[in-house]
Amino acid sequence: MNKQYQGSETSTEIENVSKSTQGSFPGLIIREKEPANYEYPFPMLDDFITPDNQFFVRTHFPVPDISSKDWKLTITGEIENEFSINYHELKMLPSKTVVATLECAGNGRANMVPKMKGLLWEQGAVGNAKWTGVPLSVLLKKAGIKSDAVEVILEGADKGAITEEPKSPGEIHFARSLTLTKALQEEVLIAYQMNGKDLTPIHGYPVRAIVPGWYGMASVKWLIKIIVVNKPFDGYWQTLEYAYWSRPDGHPSLKPVSEVQVKAQIARPALSELIEKGTTYTITGAAWSGEKAIEKVEISINEGKSWEVVDLTSQPMPHSWVLWEYNWQVPIKQSKYKLMVKATDCAGNTQPSEHDADRRTYMINKIIKHEVEVQ
């Protein structure tokens, strides 16, 4: 851990392994114990690849207990050849490894005013890992997609009933659809490894989807079924949850949350960290965007009056975050300073100054003021 890291998360204590219900997650912040929703303390960021036991956890139901021997994946719907594949057979197929950042669609929700509904993630519902598996496109080609197919539903083994409003229709499996276009992109994986090791139970063992460029809810864990459909899927987690308002026809219409929005985050200094006046402080962080590589990250020390470009310390590439740093000549004047960062991707997408209410409590990437104290 960087010695400059002195801060701690403000709203929730970092709980240790003994309090965790789901094995070994030293240092993860528990946002909800059951089902497991654990946050990475983002000020700890040092490495380009997030270790699996520090990777944030988002679950909707209890973690299913599936052995690789019993697991199988069924492909059905608008296809020519319905089939099932077991774990051994899947691992025999040609594999691909991708580096992909997964971010929860509600990451940053805790920073919104007024308080929003939903899990109050601060900055740490994001992580970057190496994922290995079989491209979904390989399985879809084997299945033979019919010409009227438009989407692909990914179904997890995790299930349950949501009894608070908005209620689920009884007990349902977690499921999410991809557009056929996205499903056929070669980086979309049916993955069985994270950072070169078998997935852990909480991250989807034995097999999960990895959908680089889309928010985490699309990377369905404990994947057991793929259904090709000829109509857009209006499932629970893309209408009632993980949906936002778009206005293509002048009317608000609910659309499934999908592509990750461009965003930069400061790791250090932590929020409210004390910084010694007149020193040089290396501000660090990460930045990412959905389908595009990051082009630049800028920082402002004076609340947006002027911006400076920071150094990128890892190679920008699509689907993965980039690390960055900036050597700050800390002023002599003792005061609170509000640091602001913004990222721009190579398609010119950048961050808004306000959260668009049509996004509801998702896709939160407005530029925030990160307050620190110089003494």
Q: Which residues bind a copy of itself (CB under 8 A)?
A: 77, 117, 153, 155, 165-166, 168-170, 172-173, 175, 227, 229, 231-236, 239-240, 243, 245, 248-255, 357-358, 360
Select 93 or 229, whichever has its Cβ closest to a copy of itself: 229
The Cα diameter of the chain in Å comes to 71
Cα Rg of the chain, angstroms? 21
Q: Which is nearer to a copy of itself, 230 or 353 (CB)?
A: 230
Nearer to a copy of itself, 155 or 187 (CB): 155
Q: Are 24 and 53 in contact (CB under 8 A)?
A: yes
The sign of the dihedral angle between the CA atoms of 209, 210, 216, 218 is negative
Report angle CA 374, 271, 5 to the nearest 5 degrees.
80
CB of 232 to a copy of itself, least distance (A): 6
Which residues have a Cβ under 8 Å from the Cβ of 244 and sit 6 or more positions away?
A: 254, 255, 257, 358, 359, 360, 362, 363
CA gap 194, 339 in Å, rounded: 34
Q: Which is nearer to a copy of itself, 94 or 169 (CB)?
A: 169
Give every CB contact of residue 76 below 8 A, 6+ residues apart in sequence. 82, 225, 226, 227, 228
* Residue with smaller CB distance to a copy of itself, 13 or 234: 234
Nearer to a copy of itself, 44 or 157 (CB): 157
Q: How far is the CB of 252 from a copy of itself (least distance, A)?
A: 4
Q: How far is the CB of 216 from a copy of itself (least distance, A)?
A: 20
Least distance in angstroms from the C-beta of 351 to a copy of itself: 21
Min dist. Cβ of residue 347 to a copy of itself (A): 23
CB of 279 to a copy of itself, least distance (A): 47
Cβ 100 to a copy of itself, closest distance in Å?
25
Question: Which two tokens mark 184?
Answer: 């056929």
CB 110 within 8 A of CB 30: no
Shortest Cβ distance from residue 360 to a copy of itself (Å)? 8
- The DSSP string of 142-176 is HH-B-TT--EEEEEEEEEEE--SSSPPSSEEEEEE
Contact 151, 72 (CB under 8 A): no
Nearer to a copy of itself, 175 or 283 (CB): 175
Q: What is the DSSP letter of 358?
A: G
Comparing CB distances to a copy of itself, the nearer of 218 and 323 is: 218
Q: How far is the CB of 120 from a copy of itself (least distance, A)?
A: 17
In this complex, which beta carbon is closest to a copy of itself, that of residue 225 or of residue 370? 225
What residues have CB less than 8 Å from 262, skipping those under 6 apart?
Answer: 287, 288, 289, 290, 292, 294, 343, 344, 345, 349, 350, 351, 365
Structure tokens at 72: 């199988």
